[in-house]
Amino acid sequence: MKDLKKGGHRGKFRPTPRFAERRLEGAGYLAAFIGVLLVAVFFYAEFTDREPVRQGDEPVAAVPAEQEEGTLTELPEAYFQPEPGETAQEEEEESSGLIRGEIAPGDTAGAVLQQWLSPAAVSSLVEAAKDAWPLSRIRAGRPYAVWLDQGDLVRFEYEADDNNRLVIVREIEGSAIRWKASLEKIEYEIRLARVEGSIDSNLFETMSLLGENPVLAVRLADIFAWEINFIRDLQPGDSFRMLVEKRWRDGEFKGYGNIPVAEFVNKKKKFEAFRFKDSFGNNAFFTAAGESLKRAFLKAPLSFTRISSRFSSARLHPILHIVRAHPAVDYAAPTGTPVKAIGGGVVTFRGFGRGAGNYVVLKHSGGYESMYMHLSGFARNLKQGGRVRQGEVIGFVGSTGYATGPHLDFRMKKDGRFLNPEKVLSPRDEAVPKARLEAFRSECGRMRSLLNGDADLEEYASAQGQGGSAQ
Cβ-based burial of 214 (10 A; exposed 0-12, middle 13-18, buried ≥19)? middle
More confident residue, 462 or 432: 432
- What is the distance between the alpha carbons of residues 459 and 403, in angstroms, rounded to a whole number? 55
Answer yes or no: do 238 and 280 share one domain: yes
Domain that holds residue 231: 189-294+431-464
- What is the distance between the alpha carbons of residues 229 and 157, in angstroms, rounded to a whole number? 43
* pLDDT, tens digit (0-9, with 9 covering 90-100), for 238-283: 999 999 999 998 888 989 999 999 999 999 999 999 999 887 788 9
- CATH number of the domain at 283, please: 3.10.450.350
Answer yes or no: do 147 and 110 share one domain: yes
More confident residue, 150 or 74: 150
pLDDT band at 49 (very low <50, low <70, confident <90, very high): very low
Answer yes or no: do 258 and 206 share one domain: yes
Which of 143, 166, 185 is where one domain is finished? 185
Answer yes or no: do 288 and 437 share one domain: yes
Answer yes or no: do 362 and 438 share one domain: no
Whole-number mean pLDDT of the chain?
80
Check residue 27 and give its pLDDT. Answer: 58
More confident residue, 249 or 232: 249
Check residue 33 and give its pLDDT. Answer: 63
Residue 72 lies in a domain: no
Check residue 54 and give its pLDDT. Answer: 39
Check residue 185 and give its pLDDT. Answer: 94
Please say if the pLDDT value at position 61 is more than 80: no
Residue 74 lies in a domain: no
Answer yes or no: do 180 and 207 share one domain: no
Answer yes or no: do 132 and 199 share one domain: no
What are the backbone angles phi and psi of residue 265, rounded to the nearest 5°?
-105, 115
Residue 75 lies in a domain: no
Residue 16 lies in a domain: no
Check residue 32 and give its pLDDT. Answer: 61
When mean pLDDT is compared across 36-50, 207-221, 279-293, 415-429, the lowest value belongs to 36-50
pLDDT band at 202 (very low <50, low <70, confident <90, very high): confident
Answer yes or no: do 156 and 229 share one domain: no
When mean pLDDT is compared across 35-49, 194-208, 272-286, the lowest value belongs to 35-49
Beta carbons of 153 and 168 less than 8 angstroms apart: no
Please say if the pLDDT value at position 42 is more than 80: no
Answer yes or no: do 324 and 249 share one domain: no
pLDDT band at 421 (very low <50, low <70, confident <90, very high): confident
* pLDDT, tens digit (0-9, with 9 covering 90-100), for 311-368: 566 555 566 556 567 888 899 889 999 999 998 899 999 999 988 999 999 999 888 9
Residue 79 lies in a domain: no
**Tally of domains within the chain:** 3
* pLDDT, tens digit (0-9, with 9 covering 90-100), for 96-111: 589 999 999 999 999 9
* pLDDT, tens digit (0-9, with 9 covering 90-100), for 132-173: 999 999 999 999 999 999 889 999 999 999 899 999 999 988
Give the 3-state secondary structure of residue 300.
coil
Answer yes or no: do 134 and 226 share one domain: no
Which of 157, 185, 213 is where one domain is finished? 185
Residue 471 lies in a domain: no
Please say if the pLDDT value at position 69 is more than 60: no
* Centroid of chain to Cα 4: 93
What percentage of the chain exceeds 70 in pLDDT?
A: 73
Enumerate the H helices of 272-389 as residue ranges.
Answer: none
Answer yes or no: do 368 and 399 share one domain: yes
Query: What number is the average pLDDT over the span 16-32?
Result: 56
pLDDT band at 88 (very low <50, low <70, confident <90, very high): very low
The gap between the terminal CA atoms of the chain, to the nearest Å, is: 105
Residue 108 lies in a domain: yes
Give the burial string for 418-450 (b: 16+ CB within 10 Å, else e). Answer: bbebeebebeebebbeeeeeeebeebbebbbeb
Query: What number is the average pLDDT over the span 193-216?
Result: 92
Please say if the pLDDT value at position 70 is more than 50: no
Which of 137, 161, 185 is where one domain is finished? 185
Residue 233 lies in a domain: yes
- What is the distance between the alpha carbons of residues 238 and 243, in angstroms, rounded to a whole number? 18
- What is the distance between the alpha carbons of residues 63 and 444, in angstroms, rounded to a whole number? 54
Check residue 119 and give its pLDDT. Answer: 93
Please say if the pLDDT value at position 224 is more than 70: yes
Answer yes or no: do 338 and 407 share one domain: yes
* Centroid of chain to Cα 336: 18
